Structures are given as structure tokens and as C-alpha cells.
């Protein structure tokens, strides 16, 4: 006898059994489920009673009924407890601008789930069954029209770029534009993915070395342009950013002045609506717009937005190189590996990667080589008891149900894209040595996935580091690294400078940190696990009393050109104006052929 497996509140407990067949759930761009209009229990968008109905059958029937084409995707196949009543679930998305077909009503998933709890008799058996299985695939809904090799949003080409957003008014031009910096990039950035020698700007008493690659990466450019475009496209509507768009306060503040609201901080703390006196999360709904930042979002945050009927797919600005990491983690999980994520567990990108990875594989986060060594001790431990004791520090950085005896046998490494390449490779090399010691050289390839070596490193992070390394080869009096206080990739650039120059390397946010030629307000980034989580500013000696000075200036991937220009302008302003060569002369030199 077929039977219906349901929650205790299910009407199936006292009613007819669930029959075999297939169900098609069609969602609109706001992730709302299309339910047939009319009286009686709520039903699925489309249902076929015959078992084994294929996606093309459902697509054809839907087209016959509505005249609209969709591409159904399997959401859940029968099996396990449902084996005696096989009901296959398919999902499909309407086109972004497709009208709701006549005879159907769009209902938010959150509203349906709430009603399911409060009034279970309002649903047909098939829709009740589908809603009970919904948590397993809810975050897939906005992306049902994407294949395994598709990206949420690919980088724009130069021709596709919206350059107008950087020059819309004086405030934008001051923040984003600099003829001098743009000329440097035009001349030195011959290829997007490979670095060259630095540009040298000789102003007379001070010379500046600027790496061939610094500042905005393509992912940041895309996110910024889409944020300004979204504000312009939605007058009269509330437009939210899930959290900070990028880790730069000047960019985030400029967007805030133009009307952008923020749902939560970069640490996930809800932000209050100053008028209502309660978190924005309490009121955000289907008439609002929410942009997902370049770092991506956790499944938990996406689920909350999807349930409220918010069109996150259209406004998802996740960097495709971050998404590349997610795809690698999924592939490793499908191949039976545990995913080791080299990242800072408190960083938005690592949170999003961890959330995505745990869908497909046991996952664990290691911050640095020191933590990788501790993980190696767990792997090499003598017996389960010792292994579990050594694993305790990782208890809050692994997926639910993680078993160190079972889940540390086969490993693959992915990384937070903003970290140092050499650190990721060092972690992989250490785990390789550990697995060889534990299992032997002959079976090493089975226990550590060799394809993880460099597979998920961000080219923009790497080329910025390569370009900086070339610039650091010259004799320098000091180095200034410019970026937000919570910018991980900026800190990695600072670390490279500090290794070369010691206390002559400075981490600053803008020209306001430059007090004089003698004093600078340097930011101490909270890197080590024992550091204060907020970091702190400290005033330090700045430049030596000799001329000419040779300074290196670079910026993180979220640092606008205008801020770099202001830093150079501030330092030049500490010298008598008559001693400083005019910018026009330097521009002419940059543009002159070699």
C-alpha cells in the first residue's frame, strides 16, 4: 500500500494516501510559487499522476496550459521513506520579465510555510508533500535556470562597463576618478592577468612607485556598478545591501548617501531602522530590493530573502571568482572529499563558501598554516579518543555532524580568494606531507586531491601580489598600503610590504591618516587569533629626513583610484609647491613612447 510520510500536522494522517506521480513547481522572479487560482485546497503548479513523467512532459503540458515555456529541473527524486509513493519534484523559473499566467496566483514561500503550520488542511496532499521537502532545495530556486557551468554574473567587458556611475557628480568623480592613476594603469596594465614593472612618478623631492596592478578588481567594479544601477532603476522603493558591498567605507558611505540601506553589518549583526526602532530584517519584504554583495551570501541569509519573495537572482553581485570556489567545493564533495577551506571563519566570503560547501561535503575552516598543522596532528593522532580531543578547537569551524575519524581521510583544499597564494600552497603542501605520513606515497592521490593545488586562487589577488613583489624589489624609504580596515586582501598586501620594510610599511585608509612628513596614523590589523577583533590605530614615525624620498603606494582590490590620488596629493602638499613638478608633466612622460 502506498503511504504518505508527513509531519505530525499533516492532513495525510487521517486522509487518503499520497499517490505516485510528478509535480512541477513554477516560481516567478521573486521566488513566489505559482498556485492554481480557485476554491478548495491549494495545489501544486502542475501535477501528473502517472509515475515516471519526464521533465519534457511537464514542460509540454505547462506550455499547453499557459503558452509559456519553462525548463523544468529535478528538485527531489523519490527514494528512502518515499519509495512506496514515488513523487518526483521538478522546479522551473519564469523569465525575469514574464507575466504571471492567467489562472495562477503567486504566493511567497514564507507565507505558504506559515500557513502549512497553521492550517494544514488548506493544502492538497501533493503540495503538502512538496512543501515538507522544500528546505532541501529552497536556495536553488533563484538559480534554477543556471547550469553547472553557468555563473550568476560574469565580469563585464570594457565595452559593457557602465563608466557613467564613476562620473555622475563631483562626489563620485572625487572618489573614483584620477587622470594620473588612470594613465598609470593604461600604460602599465598591459594585460589584466599578468604584472609588469611598476610605474615611477617623479615629483622632484618625492618619487612614487605604483605597481602595475592595484585597486579595483573586476568583481568589485561589477558590484559597484550594479549597486548604483539598482538605485537608479528603483526610485521610490527601498534598496538594501545585504551587508557591506565591499570593504571600503568611502564607497559604502557614498552609496548610503544616495539612498542605499544595509540589512546587517559585515559580521552579520542586524542593523536597526532608525525610524521604526527595530531591525530592517523585521520589515523587509517582496516590494523591497536586496543586493547580495561581491562576497556572496550564506544559505541562511538567502533562505530568509527567498521566503519573503525577494528577487535575489537579479541583484546577486557575487564575484564569479568566489562562485568558482563554490563550484570547486561542490565538485570535490561529489567526488567524496572533505573540503578544507583556507580562510578566516569570521569573513563574509568564507562564511558564504562554508555555507555552500556544506551542502555537498563535510567541511572545515583553517585560518592559516598554524591551524593546518594542528589539523595535521588530528589526522596523525593515535586512536579515536586522542583524535577527538585534538579536534576540539575546530568544533565551531566544521560542518554539522563532522566526524574526525571518518571525515579527515580524503581532503581537498579551497581558499578565501583574498588571501596570500603562498599561504594556501603552504597549507596544501603540509597536508600532503601529513597524508603521505599517514597513508603512504602510493595512495596519496586518493587521500589529497591534487587538483586543489591553486585551483581556486583568485587571479586578481594573485596579480596584485605579483605586481607588488616587483615594486618591492626597488630601494624604498617607505610603503603605504591603502584600503578599508576590514579588507583582507589589503592586509595581505601590507604583510608583503612589512616583510620587506618592517616598520617602514604603513596600512592607511585615506589621506586623513597622513599627519605630516614625520607622523602617520597606522592601522594595526587584527590578524593573529589573539588580536582584538576590531584592530586599532596607532600614531607612528613616518618618513626619514632626506631627499629625494622614494615611496611605494598601492591599494587593495576595494580601494578607489580617487583615494590613491588623494594620498599622493597630501604627501606632495607637505613640500613647498614650487618644488613639486606639475602633474601635467608626469602625464606627458607616462604617455610618451619609450
Active site residues: 349
Kindly state the cell numbers that stand for 132: 515538507
Q: What is the largest CA-CA distance in the chain?
A: 95
Phi-psi region of 119 (alpha: psi -120 to 50; beta: other; left: phi over 0): beta
Within 10 Å of residue 479's Cβ, how many Cβ atoms? 24
Nearest to 553 by CA among 483, 458, 484: 483
Contact 181, 196 (CB under 8 A): no
Half-sphere exposure of residue 563, counting CA atoms within 13 Å on the CB side?
Answer: 25
Half-sphere exposure of residue 160, counting CA atoms within 13 Å on the CB side?
Answer: 9
520 phi/psi in degrees, rounded to 5: -140, 145
Q: How far is CA 220 from each of CA 174, 320, 322, 416, rounded to the nearest angstrom?
A: 18, 11, 12, 15
Nearest to 67 by CA among 35, 95, 25, 47: 95
Contact 188, 567 (CB under 8 A): no
* C-alpha span between 398 and 345 (Å, rounded): 10
Specify the 3-state DSSP secondary structure of 335.
Answer: coil
Kindly state the cell numbers that stand for 75: 528538485
231 phi/psi in degrees, rounded to 5: -60, -45
Instruction: Please name the residue ranges forming H helices in 335-420.
Output: 348-357, 369-379, 384-391
78 phi/psi in degrees, rounded to 5: -65, 150
Q: Which residue has the cell 533563484?
A: 142
Specify the 3-state DSSP secondary structure of 572.
Answer: helix
Nearest to 518 by CA among 498, 537, 539, 543: 543
Kindly state the cell numbers that stand for 178: 584620477
Walk across the sheet containing 338-342 and list its strands: 363-366, 338-342, 411-415
Contact 21, 85 (CB under 8 A): no
DSSP bridge partners of 555: 482
Report the run of H or E that residue 140 belongs to, with start and end. Answer: none
- Rg, the chain, Cα only: 27
Within 10 Å of residue 234's Cβ, how many Cβ atoms? 14
* C-alpha span between 225 and 222 (Å, rounded): 5
Amino acid at each position: 500500500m502506498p503511504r504518505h510520510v508527513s509531519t505530525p500536522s499533516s492532513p495525510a494522517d487521517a486522509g487518503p494516501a499520497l499517490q505516485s506521480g510528478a509535480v512541477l513547481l513554477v516560481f516567478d522572479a521573486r521566488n513566489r510559487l505559482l498556485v492554481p487560482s480557485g476554491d478548495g485546497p491549494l495545489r501544486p503548479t502542475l501535477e501528473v499522476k502517472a509515475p515516471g513523467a519526464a521533465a519534457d512532459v511537464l514542460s509540454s503540458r505547462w506550455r499547453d496550459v499557459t503558452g509559456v515555456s519553462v525548463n523544468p529541473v529535478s528538485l527531489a527524486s523519490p527514494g528512502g521513506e518515499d519509495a512506496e509513493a514515488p513523487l518526483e519534484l521538478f522546479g522551473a523559473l519564469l523569465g525575469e520579465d514574464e507575466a504571471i499566467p492567467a489562472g495562477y496566483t503567486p504566493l511567497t514561500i514564507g507565507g505558504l510555510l506559515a500557513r502549512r503550520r497553521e492550517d494544514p488542511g488548506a493544502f492538497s496532499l501533493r503540495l503538502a508533500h512538496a512543501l515538507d521537502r522544500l528546505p532541501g532545495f529552497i536556495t536553488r530556486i533563484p538559480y534554477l535556470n543556471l547550469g553547472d557551468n553557468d555563473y550568476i554574473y560574469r565580469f563585464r567587458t570594457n565595452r559593457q562597463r557602465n563608466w557613467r556611475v564613476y562620473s555622475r557628480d563631483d562626489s563620485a568623480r572625487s572618489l573614483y576618478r584620477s587622470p594620473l592613476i588612470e594613465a598609470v594603469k593604461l600604460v602599465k596594465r598591459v594585460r589584466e592577468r599578468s604584472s609588469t614593472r611598476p610605474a615611477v612618478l617623479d615629483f622632484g623631492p618625492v618619487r612614487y612607485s605604483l605597481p602595475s596592478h592595484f585597486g579595483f578588481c573586476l568583481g568589485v567594479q561589477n558590484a559597484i556598478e550594479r549597486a548604483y544601477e539598482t538605485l537608479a532603476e528603483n526610485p521610490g522603493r527601498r534598496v538594501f545591501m545585504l551587508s557591506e558591498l565591499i570593504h571600503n567605507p568611502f564607497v559604502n558611505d557614498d552609496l548610503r548617501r544616495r539612498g542605499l540601506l544595509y540589512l546587517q553589518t559585515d559580521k552579520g549583526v542586524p542593523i536597526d531602522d532608525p525610524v521604526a526602532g527595530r531591525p530592517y530584517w523585521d520589515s523587509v519584504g517582496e516590494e523591497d530590493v536586496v543586493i547580495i554583495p561581491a562576497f556572496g551570501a550564506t544559505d541562511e541569509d538567502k533562505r530568509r530573502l527567498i521566503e519573503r519573495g525577494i528577487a535575489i537572482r537579479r541583484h546577486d553581485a557575487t564575484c564569479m571568482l568566489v562562485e568558482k570556489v563554490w563550484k570547486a567545493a561542490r565538485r570535490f564533495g561529489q567526488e567524496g572529499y572533505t573540503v578544507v577551506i583556507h580562510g578566516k571563519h569570521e569573513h563574509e566570503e568564507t562564511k558564504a563558501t562554508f555555507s555552500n560547501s556544506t551542502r555537498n561535503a563535510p567541511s572545515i575552516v583553517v585560518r592559516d598554516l598554524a591551524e593546518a598543522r594542528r589539523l595535521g596532528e588530528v589526522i596523525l593522532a593515535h586512536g579515536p579518543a586522542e583524535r577527538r580531543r585534538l579536534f576540539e578547537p575546530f568544533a565551531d569551524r566544521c560542518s554539522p555532524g563532522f566526524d574526525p575519524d571518518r571525515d579527515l581521510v580524503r581532503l581537498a583544499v579551497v581558499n578565501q580568494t583574498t588571501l596570500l597564494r603562498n599561504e594556501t600552497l603552504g597549507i596544501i603542501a603540509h597536508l600532503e606531507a601529513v597524508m603521505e605520513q599517514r597513508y603512504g606515497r602510493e595512495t596519496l592521490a586518493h587521500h589529497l586531491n591534487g587538483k586543489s593545488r591553486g585551483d581556486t586562487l583568485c587571479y586578481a589577488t594573485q596579480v596584485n601580489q605579483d605586481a607588488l613583489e616587483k615594486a618591492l624589489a626597488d630601494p624604498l624609504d617607505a610603503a603605504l598600503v591603502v584600503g578599508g580596515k576590514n579588507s583582507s586582501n589589503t592586509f595581505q598586501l601590507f604583510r608583503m610590504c612589512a616583510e620587506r620594510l618592517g616598520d617602514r610599511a604603513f596600512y592607511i585608509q585615506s589621506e586623513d591618516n597622513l599627519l605630516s612628513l614625520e607622523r602617520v596614523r597606522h592601522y594595526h590589523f587584527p590578524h593573529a587569533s589573539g588580536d582584538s577583533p576590531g584592530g586599532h590605530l596607532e600614531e607612528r614615525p613616518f618618513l626619514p629626513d632626506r631627499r629625494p624620498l622614494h615611496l611605494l603606494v598601492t591599494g587593495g582590490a576595494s580601494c578607489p583610484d580617487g583615494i590613491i590620488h588623494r594620498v599622493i596629493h597630501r604627501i606632495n602638499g607637505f613640500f613647498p609647491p614650487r618644488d613639486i613638478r606639475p602633474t601635467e608633466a608626469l602625464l606627458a612622460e607616462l604617455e610618451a613612447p619609450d
